[in-house]
Amino acid sequence: MKQYLKHHEWQIIEEGFDPHVNKISESIFSIGNGRMGQRANFEEDYSGETLRGSYVAGVYYPDKTRVGWWKNGYPEYFAKVLNAPNWIGIHISIDNHKLDLAKCKVEDFRRVLDMKVGLLSRSFTATFPDGKRVKVESKRFCSMAQGEIGAIRYALTPLNFSSKTTIGIYVDADVVNMDSNYDEKFWEEVYKEATPGRAVVTAQTKKTFFHVTTGMKYFIQSEGKNVDFERFNIEVREKFAGNVLQLDLQEGKEIVIYKYAAVLSSENHPKDQLVSACDNVLFDASVKGFDKLFEEHARVWTHKWEECDITIDGDVAAQQGIRFNIFQLTQTYTGEDERLNIGPKGFTGEKYGGSTYWDTEAYCLPFYLSTAEEKVARNLLVYRYKHLPKAIENARKLGFKDGAAFYPFVTMNGEECHNEWEITFEEIHRTSAMAYAIRDYINYTGDQTYLSQYGLEVLIGIARFWAQRVNWSTDKNKYVILGVTGPNEYENNVNNNWYTNYLGAWTLRFANDAVEYVKKSDPKRFEEIVRVTNFNDVQETQNWKKISENMYYPHDPNRGVILQQDGFLDKELIAVKDLDPKDRPLNQKWSWDRILRSCFIKQADVLQGIYLFEDDFDLDTIKRNFDFYEPMTVHESSLSPCVHVILASKLGYKEKAYELYLRTARLDLDDYNNDTEDGCHITSMAGTWMSVVKGFGGMKIKDGKLHFSPYTPDQWKSYSFRLEFRGRVLKIKISKSGTETILESGDPLEIVMDGKVISLK
Amino acid sequence: MKQYLKHHEWQIIEEGFDPHVNKISESIFSIGNGRMGQRANFEEDYSGETLRGSYVAGVYYPDKTRVGWWKNGYPEYFAKVLNAPNWIGIHISIDNHKLDLAKCKVEDFRRVLDMKVGLLSRSFTATFPDGKRVKVESKRFCSMAQGEIGAIRYALTPLNFSSKTTIGIYVDADVVNMDSNYDEKFWEEVYKEATPGRAVVTAQTKKTFFHVTTGMKYFIQSEGKNVDFERFNIEVREKFAGNVLQLDLQEGKEIVIYKYAAVLSSENHPKDQLVSACDNVLFDASVKGFDKLFEEHARVWTHKWEECDITIDGDVAAQQGIRFNIFQLTQTYTGEDERLNIGPKGFTGEKYGGSTYWDTEAYCLPFYLSTAEEKVARNLLVYRYKHLPKAIENARKLGFKDGAAFYPFVTMNGEECHNEWEITFEEIHRTSAMAYAIRDYINYTGDQTYLSQYGLEVLIGIARFWAQRVNWSTDKNKYVILGVTGPNEYENNVNNNWYTNYLGAWTLRFANDAVEYVKKSDPKRFEEIVRVTNFNDVQETQNWKKISENMYYPHDPNRGVILQQDGFLDKELIAVKDLDPKDRPLNQKWSWDRILRSCFIKQADVLQGIYLFEDDFDLDTIKRNFDFYEPMTVHESSLSPCVHVILASKLGYKEKAYELYLRTARLDLDDYNNDTEDGCHITSMAGTWMSVVKGFGGMKIKDGKLHFSPYTPDQWKSYSFRLEFRGRVLKIKISKSGTETILESGDPLEIVMDGKVISLK
């Protein structure tokens, strides 16, 4: 845990330059716009510790799988989020001394991320070894208004000298991924050109042949006028294009470099038109200029914040935390492109690879359902519908047949690309996250038509998977599910993980209901689905029914609790609080076998199931299970605390709820898990939002109605959030003295507040 | 399965050249002498599919571990058996055409391994693209009499031309390992020199800094006289030294190249004396000459066969099979050097890496106990005693303490170097293979002094491991062992694997007994051990007793069988014979998760325990368990069939026993598992020997006496084997008409034959 950032309601502020936290800041201060993103690397050269990262949505590399021992069923590749061509680079040298913060004395360093308008600023004074001092102020953003534009304003003032300076401005595709499995570079040059004031490089990824064209135009001004260059060179080498210029710096006189970058991908343009499209984008950008571009960009942010802001009064750290989470989520995924998804690190790092985990359905969907128009959440669902053929192929590779669909644990295009057998092959619950998301979407939006249009085909595939994955235990006289890993990844290859069994059986019932619904509501479409999926509706649904009615669920009759899996009670049951603090986090301190044998739970497992199917359990049951499992939970997954916040809130455990809220809200800002330098935990940020809205606010949908049972944590004065719900916009303000609910737009609506029906007009 | 080799009692014979089986033959026809070994690669250049392999005992490379996802506890490196410098190479070209069997027409190809004398011969006629025909006859061996010498006789006859030929004779350390994790070369040059008729290269391994000096001298003769060279060149380049000569070939006139190689390692010589020692060895070899060297070598083989041959009358395939197994075992490990051990591929391939698995104790020890002097088996035990400090370190890395010893799954120097968590961390039964080996040794030899000298320290370490590895289950009111992999590696991370629990509890009892014995028999040494191991004998042994008396053992009261592990009965119980043959072998056809969920057993697990502790179970119990588990066993480990042969023999299941015997005896010769090209399954070859002696012969030790209950498989007329036992040599001849037991040397002895005591004089 590190707490070096200043607390502020709207800004993330770093003061003073500490190279040891630079990589953490590079992650936290990242900017993006759903199409592209950029870690908070310095524009100028930096020879200190850094993880340079530029990312382009949807562009990946299928890096050959690396394992110690190959097991049948492993995928051929692990998709890497690509470090894309560098568009921010500005090289500065003065009298042959490079401006490099690792080699200068740095003073008055300040890095600020203004979340309200999506602007990264940085300023500092640097003293060169020869005593020359310069002041630098840089600002940059990735335009939320035009997703292919990045803009930089880089101001340089010589404080105590006049001298010649050399400035290099370039785009560079000769970049590496830190996590390349075989130390390969993933980009090849297709085209490059530099002309005065402009440079363009088109690079293509090996194997996948994505083309990305990165271009830049720049202007250098002083006192509002373009400056004259003394010398000017075109600099072109492999995968690199730029200009190098020499000009006179005069003591005390600021020069300002405006660099406009365009990043275009062949996902959105024909390959042969990328360069001309790039030039068009650059032309438009340079005509508008930095201030106008920024104004358009900031306007989008203002609108976004109107949609999804959460205010917290009386706790600046909590306010900053929740806004940081919402900011990152919003700049990672805008919902406009149904081919995209929410990578676990967004545009803030390359770790984990792949873009899509079950995080999307289980954690992110509720956020986008409530804070964006319906089509955003729907696009997330359609994304998985489009991957259905690949999910069927994934299942076939593992030995399933007849159209069973096994959604991947990690994917870019629907193909599995994770390679730990205990997760890839065994963490099977994720395939039903897709089914649950359909239910979630329909519950929230009331849009049942999704079932006939897309949903049923997916549900049939998933239900077929479960029907083949169970087996009949003559010993138990029940259906069992063997060899799985549940959400708690500190258990591997267990039998009858309760969460998995429960979710599997629920999926079979839900698919059954969906079959009945579509059969009745849209018989023609139903016939089409039957044909396309080769569906034997009588026989298959009967089988689903038989399985779901005869599923085995492990439990402990003595304690009256659900058992996480068979044999759980053989473990030594120890509370986390009784662990030696030296042993935490377990995943860094203990050997894997010791973790596996222990009772300690990485993330909500039984409690995840209770959270998802809350209405299936009475409060006593929830309490007994929470009281049993919470003390053994180490929350070493970023996805864990939010679920506990929601259940703790329901049970009135306010202190526990608040403790876990802080852990999720400031996970990256305070580097709780000592890994923010790799990138931020984007998907779990939706969990922070859920902690407030579903936890403290007690929001849920029941029988098509919004329910609330809000309370205010002791540490806060009040808080508020906004929801979009079936064409309405609601604002909910909660304070210790009561709750105010405002219907900002849309038709009248009945909601249920603390069990009482209220009509909103 | 491939059956291209001719059946012969003493020889392995390949006729006709088929490049598709060349790598299989390279494995099968390998030669070695315990110090060095060589795959049956061609002396001349070969551009077809080949796995070039020369190996030097004890020389390895700690290749950086490669995994997909790092888990705490993984070792830093995986020790690779090193492909050592090439000493066999002879380059031949005629009029600029290389002699390369992949590019010539090959006729009359014959490769013969004469196991009686350890000689590899090869002959063929090759036609070059320009029509020139040559006949080649080569012979080579690795001297069993002088472990640092290899000798080659290579005869070349031009059949239809007279012409100039160029001959290159060299040693070459510029070799690669096929299984290098990061495509590195492991050798660096230290020294090289070529003089007329001689070349020497000293290479050292990276990181481990083993030095290996490989030298050669050669003579070229025609009609018994040295031939004149027309041209002569020294050829030296990085890691390579040799001579290149030109001479006239005359049609029909044979020239013979005698190449003597010396391979010396810094394990046996001071580094600075390697080259001079090498020259001495070469000098001696060249003075003796090929025939004399061979005579000395063959004499050792004659003696070895006298010690350990098994004859089978009436079944040439079975006779060839058992001799091949004994031949390979004998040339892999001679027992003279206590630093060495029996690698799973011996000197026939590099797969699996590491030199020592639990195979040594569980499978090989009985072979060496019965067929060699006592010190050979004792050296195998001392090897592990010397690794005790490393075993304690291995345990500490995984979180165990107070001197607990966890022997590695694979090792070179005692350090663990395997990297699958489910095996490395969880296949814990192997640590007790070391305890069982001590018992086996004492039982066979009667040499109790081993306990006080070495054994007890090891047993205390291992017992401490078990005492920490168990935990008390309040649910079962017993000690349980969670998260293990048993011998059947088609189950991972299971709870209460019966074999593991049984072996763990036995170890605690055995260690307890050993403590009592040494305390009484050698109180002074006991005190020393107490001091060295910081042993609290009262408290620790009481704890061991408590655990072993309260261990939990899974069983099925309905079927009256032991359960392989908790939850085994949840599986669908299907017989192997009901599998679609297309699905076999499972490990090549099924995904890993499907294998794990299935009931199919890779290798004896419960039955392994029953085999080891045979006297603890009545015949009915053995039968019930065999009848339950055998039908589900796929024997996809080479270590499996022999155990089933032994138990099937005991139960009178003669057909089953014979079927499984053939599988183990001809596993490599007939390439049962489609993997012989990687090398032969050396350690399981001892299982073949056990199948005959302990299976068909029913040999066991009880109360210090040799017991037999022999029968003759229907397919055989008779068979015989020899045993060394407590200073005696016995020969046992078994036929359908009866058993003849001859005491060839040593004091009179009582044995038990079919339950009756017989006195031998």
| Number of Cβ pairs < 8 A linking chain A and chain B | 137
Residue B3: Cβ-neighbour burial (10 angstroms; 0-12, 13-18, 19+): exposed
Reading phi first (left if > 0) and then psi (alpha if -120 to 50, else beta), residue B580 is in beta
For CATH 2.70.98.40, the residue range(s) in chain A are 11-278+285-308
pLDDT greater than 80 at residue A61:
yes
Which residue in A411, A563, A566 sits closest to A494, CA to CA?
Answer: A566
**Residue appearing with tokens 């340089």:** A156
The alpha-carbon gap from A586 to the nearest alpha carbon of chain B, in Å, equals 10
Q: Which of A489, A540, A630, A636 is catalytic?
A: A489
- Tell me, yes or no, if A64 comes closer than 8 A to chain B by beta carbon: no
- Which residue in B398, B588, B591 is closest to A593 by CB distance? B398
Q: Are B616 and B606 in contact (CB under 8 A)?
A: no
What would be the CATH architecture of the domain defined by B373-552? Alpha/alpha barrel (1.50)
Q: What is the mean pLDDT of residues A593-612?
A: 97
Enumerate the residues of chain B whose CB falls inside 8 A of the CB of residue A69: 419-420
Contact across the interface for A593 and B421, Cβ inside 8 Å? yes
B398 touches chain A (CB under 8 A): yes
Nearest to A65 among B68, B398, B492 (CB): B68
Q: What's the longest Cα–Cα distance across chain B? A: 88
Residues of chain B where predicted confidence (pLDDT) is lower than 50:
none
Distance from B465 to chain A by nearest Cα, in Å?
Answer: 13
Q: Is 80 exceeded by the pLDDT of residue A165?
A: yes
Residue-wise DSSP of A407-467: --SSBSSSS-----HHHHTT-TTHHHHHHHHHHHHHHHH--THHIIIIIHHHHHHHHHHHH
Cα-Cα end-to-end distance for chain B = 46
Interface check B566 vs A, CB under 8 A? yes
**Which residues in chain A have Cβ-Cβ distances shorter than 8 Å to B482?**
567, 570-571, 596-597
- The per-residue pLDDT for range A619-677, each reduced to its tens digit, is 999 999 999 999 999 999 988 999 999 999 999 999 999 999 998 999 999 998 889 99
Q: CA-to-CA distance for A321 and A307, rounded, in angstroms?
A: 18
Domain ranges in chain A with CATH number 1.50.10.10:
373-487+494-551
Residue of chain B whose alpha carbon sits nearest to that of A495: B567
For residue B180, the distance in angstroms to the closest alpha carbon of chain A comes to: 12
pLDDT of the residue at B636 = 92
Report CB contact under 8 Å: A597, B480.
Answer: no
Task: Tell if the CB–CB gap between B589 and A72 is shorter than 8 Å.
Answer: yes
What is the helix (H) or strand (E) element at residue B327, kind and residue range? helix B316-332
Residue with more model confidence, A184 or B608: B608
Mean pLDDT lowest among A415-424, A479-488, B175-184? B175-184
A489 is catalytic: yes
DSSP string of A215-267, one letter each residue: EEEEEEEETTEEPPPSEEEEEEETTEEEEEEEEEE-TT--EEEEEEEEEEETT
Q: Shortest CA distance to A22 belongs to which of A84, A127, A151, A111?
A: A111
Using the Cβ of B579 and the Cβ atoms of chain A, whether some distance falls under 8 Å is answered with no
Q: Where do the H-state alpha helices sit in A495-569?
A: 498-521, 523-533, 537-549
A430 phi and psi, to 5 degrees? -60, -25
Interchain contact B572–A (C-beta under 8 A): yes
Main-chain phi, psi angles of B760, to 5 degrees: -110, 135
**Cα(B512)–Cα(B508) distance, integer angstroms:** 6
Residue A654, judged by CB atoms within 10 A of its CB (0-12, 13-18, 19+), counts as: middle
The C-alpha angle A274, A279, A283, rounded to 5 degrees, equals: 150
- Domain B20-308: CATH architecture, name and number where available: Distorted Sandwich (2.70)
CA distances from A168 to A219, A257, B82 (A): 12, 11, 50
Residues 209 through 238 of chain A touching chain B, CB cutoff 8 Å: none
**In chain B, which residues fall in CATH 2.70.98.40?**
20-308
Q: What sign for the dihedral angle of Cα B706, B709, B713, B718?
A: positive
Minimum-distance CB partner of B567 among A566, A592, A593:
A566
Q: What is the three-class DSSP state of A94? A: strand
Query: Between B69, B475, B591, which is nearest A569 by CB?
Result: B475
B550 and A CB contact within 8 Å: no
Cβ <8 Å between A425 and B591: yes
Contact A529, A457 (CB under 8 A): yes
Q: What are phi and psi of B667, to 5 degrees?
A: -50, -50
- For A492-515, the pLDDT digits (tens) are 999 999 999 999 999 999 999 999
CATH number of the A373-487+494-551 domain = 1.50.10.10
Residue A181: pLDDT over 90: no
Q: What is the spatial distance between Cα B80 and Cα B417, in angstroms, rounded to a whole number?
A: 9
Asked if B66 lies within 8 A of A66 by C-beta distance, the reply is yes
Shortest distance between the Cα of B446 and any Cα of chain A, in A, equals 38
CATH superfamily of A11-278+285-308: Glycoside hydrolase, family 65, N-terminal domain (2.70.98.40)
Residues in chain B, overall count: 761
Cα–Cα distance for residue pair A573/A551, rounded to 1 Å: 27
Facing A68 at nearest CB: one of B66, B589, B594: B66
Is A259 a residue whose pLDDT tops 90? yes
pTM of the model as a whole: 0.94
Question: Which backbone phi and psi does B309 adopt, to 5 degrees?
Answer: -70, 150
- CB under 8 A, 24+ apart: contacts of B369-373: B369/B440, B369/B441, B369/B444, B369/B445, B370/B444, B370/B693, B370/B699, B370/B723, B370/B724, B370/B725, B371/B307, B371/B308, B371/B689, B371/B722, B371/B723, B371/B724, B372/B307, B372/B308, B372/B335, B372/B724, B373/B335, B373/B724
Question: Searching chain B, which residue's CA lies closest to the CA of residue A180?
Answer: B68
Note which residues in 584-613 of chain B have CB less than 8 A from chain A: 587-597
Query: Under DSSP, is residue A543 helix (H, G, I), strand (E, B) or coil?
Result: helix
The sign of the dihedral angle between the CA atoms of B740, B741, B742, B748 is negative
Out of A66, A398, A595, the one facing B593 most closely (by C-beta) is A398
CB contact under 8 A, A473 and B570: yes
**Tokens standing for residue A102:** 């690792």
Using a 10 angstrom Cβ sphere, with 0-12 exposed, 13-18 middle and 19 or more buried, the burial of residue B235 is middle
Could you tell me the sign of the dihedral formed by the alpha carbons of A423, A427, A431, A436, in that order?
negative
Q: Across-strand partners of A592? A: none
Question: Rounded to an integer, what distance in angstroms lies between the CA atom of residue B619 and that of residue B626?
Answer: 10
CB count in 10 Å sphere of residue B668: 26
Interface of A with B in 356-395 (CB under 8 A): none
Tell me which residue of A152, A140, A116 sits closest to A319, measured CA to CA. A116
**CATH code 1.50.10.10 region(s) in chain B:** 373-552
Mutate to test the interface with A, among B72, B183, B423, B565 (most CBs of A within 10 A): B72
CA distance A351 to chain B (A): 12
